[in-house]
C-alpha cells in the first residue's frame, strides 16, 4: 500500500488557499506621522469643539443635574458661563444645591427674586470642603473678579469619619477632588496608579471631556463597556439625546426632619485646629480671593434642634471658631440664628421656607448689599 501524497497549498481548492496578506493596514512613516498629528489635534481641540456642538442654555434657576454630580468638566463649563452671565455666584455643597426644594426655591433663586441682581446656583452635591477646594482650584478657573457667596457647612466636622481623619467602610464623596498625595487624607485609600490618574486628569481637558461623555450619555460607563452591554444599539444615537436637564421638582421629599423619623443626635465634633475639612474650607476661601473674587461667607445653616444638649454646646464652640477666623481675616459673613425646627429637612438642609428666610437675612446685611 502506497503512502498518501502530502497535502500542499498548491493542491488545495482556491477557497482554502491562504491569502497573500492579512487584513491589517500597514502604514508608511508619513502615514504614521499623519495619524499622530490627528491624535494630537483630537486631544487638544475636541473638548473645545464639543462645546460648539453640544447645546447648553441654562435658565435663571439652573443647577447641576443630579446625574452629573461627578461631571467636573460640565461644572467647569457651567461655572464659567455663570460667571459671565450673573452678578453673584453662590458656591457650596448640597445645601446650596437644594435637595428638598425645586430649582426655583433654592437659596440663589430666592436671593434673585428678592433683589435686582442675578444669582447663579453653583452648588454641588456632596462637595465637602476638602473636595470643594479641589473643585474650585481645578474646575472653576472662570470664577474671577466676581461677588461670591460661599457656604460653610459645619456638618462635615461632626465626626472624625466625616472629617476624613478615620477610615470607614462606605466610600466618601468626590475622591478625585481631594489632595492625591499631600496633605495625606487618612480615609483615602486609593492605590498609586489611581492617584496618578486623578492628578493627571485635572490637567488634561480631554480626560475630563471623555468623563463628561460617559456621565451625560453612557450611564457612567466607558465606551467598550457600554457597547458590550448594548450590543445592538448605535452609540452615536446616545449623543443625540442631549444633556440631562435638572428635574423641576425636589430630589427628596420636602418634609421636616422629625416627620422623617430622625431623632436628636449626639455628634462628636472634631477640633477645628486639627480638622481637615476646616483646612479645606480655608483653602477654598484663599483660592477665590487669589483670583480677585469678593467673598461673603454664610455659616450653616445647621439644624441645632437635631442635637442633644452637650453636642449643641460643642457645636457653638466650633461655630465660634469659624466666626473668629472670619473676623480676624476681615471676611464678611452671616452666621444666622437657627431656623424654626419645621424648616429643616435634615441636619443641614432647609426647606423652601428656610431658604426664603435666609435670603432675606442675607440681603439685610450691609456688606452683602455692597
What predicted TM-score, i.e. pTM, was given to this entire model?
Answer: 0.87
Q: Please report, in angstroms and rounded to a whole number, the separation of the first and last CA atoms in the chain.
A: 110
Is residue 303 a contact partner of residue 260, using CB atoms and an 8 Å limit?
no
Q: Hey, where are the domains in the chain?
A: 71-369
| Contact present, 172 and 164 (Cβ < 8 Å) | yes
pLDDT by 10s per residue, the chain, length 370: 556 666 565 666 665 555 555 566 677 777 667 666 656 655 666 677 777 788 888 989 999 999 999 999 999 999 999 999 999 999 999 999 999 999 999 999 999 999 989 999 999 999 999 999 999 999 999 999 999 999 999 999 999 999 999 988 788 999 999 999 989 999 999 999 999 999 998 988 888 888 888 888 887 777 778 778 777 787 777 777 778 888 899 999 999 999 999 999 999 999 999 999 999 999 999 999 999 999 999 999 999 999 999 999 999 999 999 999 999 999 999 999 999 999 999 999 999 999 999 999 999 988 888 7
State the pLDDT at residue 8. Answer: 62
Angle between helical axes of 276-290 and 309-328 (0-180°, round to 10): 30
Cα(213)–Cα(211) distance, rounded to whole angstroms?
Answer: 5
Helix (H, G, I), strand (E, B) or coil at 89: strand
CB atoms within 10 A of CB 238: 16
Q: Cα–Cα distance between 82 and 87 in angstroms, integer?
A: 9
Nine-digit cell at 137? 482650584
How deeply is 2 buried, as exposed, middle or buried, from its count of CB atoms within 10 A (0-12, 13-18, 19+)?
Answer: exposed
- Least Cα distance to 103 among 123, 82, 118 occurs for 123
The angle subtended at Cα 64 by Cα 242 and Cα 165, nearest 5°, is: 135
What is the distance between the alpha carbons of residues 82 and 327, in angstroms, rounded to a whole number? 29
Question: Dihedral through CA 97, CA 213, CA 138, CA 200, nearest 10?
Answer: 140
- 141 phi, psi to nearest 5 deg: -65, -20
Q: What nine digits make up the cell of 349?
A: 438642609
**252-256 long-range Cβ contacts below 8 angstroms, 24+ apart:** 252/99, 252/100, 252/345, 252/349, 253/100, 254/100, 254/101, 254/345, 254/351, 254/352, 255/345, 256/341, 256/342, 256/343, 256/344, 256/345, 256/351
CATH class of 71-369: alpha beta
Cis peptide before 183 (omega within 30 of 0): yes
Helix, strand and coil content of the chain, in percent to the nearest 5, comes to 50, 10, 45
Question: What pLDDT is recorded for position 91?
Answer: 98
Amino acid at each position: 500500500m502506497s503512502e498518501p501524497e502530502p497535502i500542499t497549498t498548491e493542491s488545495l481548492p482556491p477557497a482554502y488557499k491562504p491569502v497573500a496578506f492579512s487584513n491589517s493596514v500597514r502604514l508608511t512613516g508619513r502615514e504614521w506621522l499623519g495619524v499622530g498629528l490627528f491624535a494630537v489635534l483630537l486631544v487638544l481641540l475636541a473638548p473645545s469643539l464639543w462645546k460648539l456642538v453640544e447645546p447648553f442654555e441654562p435658565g435663571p434657576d439652573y443647577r447641576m443635574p443630579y446625574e452629573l454630580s461627578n461631571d467636573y468638566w460640565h461644572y467647569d463649563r457651567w461655572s464659567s458661563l455663570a460667571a459671565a452671565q450673573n452678578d453673584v455666584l453662590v458656591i457650596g455643597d448640597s445645601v446650596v444645591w437644594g435637595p428638598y426644594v425645586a430649582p426655583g426655591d433654592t437659596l440663589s433663586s430666592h436671593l434673585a427674586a428678592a433683589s435686582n441682581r442675578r444669582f447663579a446656583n453653583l452648588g454641588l452635591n456632596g462637595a465637602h470642603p476638602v473636595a470643594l477646594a479641589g473643585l474650585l482650584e481645578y474646575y472653576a478657573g472662570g470664577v474671577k473678579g466676581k461677588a461670591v457667596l460661599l457656604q460653610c457647612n459645619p456638618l462635615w466636622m461632626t465626626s472624625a469619619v466625616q472629617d476624613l481623619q478615620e477610615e470607614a467602610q462606605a466610600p466618601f464623596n468626590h475622591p478625585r477632588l481631594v489632595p492625591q498625595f499631600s496633605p495625606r487624607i487618612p480615609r483615602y485609600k486609593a492605590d498609586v496608579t489611581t492617584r496618578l490618574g486623578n492628578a493627571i486628569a485635572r490637567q488634561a481637558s480631554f480626560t475630563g471631556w471623555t468623563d463628561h461623555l460617559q456621565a451625560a450619555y453612557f450611564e457612567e460607563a466607558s465606551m467598550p463597556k457600554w457597547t458590550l452591554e448594548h450590543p445592538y444599539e448605535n452609540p452615536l444615537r446616545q449623543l443625540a439625546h442631549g444633556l440631562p436637564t435638572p428635574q423641576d421638582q425636589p430630589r427628596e421629599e420636602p418634609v421636616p426632619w422629625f416627620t422623617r423619623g430622625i431623632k436628636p443626635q449626639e455628634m462628636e465634633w472634631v477640633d477645628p485646629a486639627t480638622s481637615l475639612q476646616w483646612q479645606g474650607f480655608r483653602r477654598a476661601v484663599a483660592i477665590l480671593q487669589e483670583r480677585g473674587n469678593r467673598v461673603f461667607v454664610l455659616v450653616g445653616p445647621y439644624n441645632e434642634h437635631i442635637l442633644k444638649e452637650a453636642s449643641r454646646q460643642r457645636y457653638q464652640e466650633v461655630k465660634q471658631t469659624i466666626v473668629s477666623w472670619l473676623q480676624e481675616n476681615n471676611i464678611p459673613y452671616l452666621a444666622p440664628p437657627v431656623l424654626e425646627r419645621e424648616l429643616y429637612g435634615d441636619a443641614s438642609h432647609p426647606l423652601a421656607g428656610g431658604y426664603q428666610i435666609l435670603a432675606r437675612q442675607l440681603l439685610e446685611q450691609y456688606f452683602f448689599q455692597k
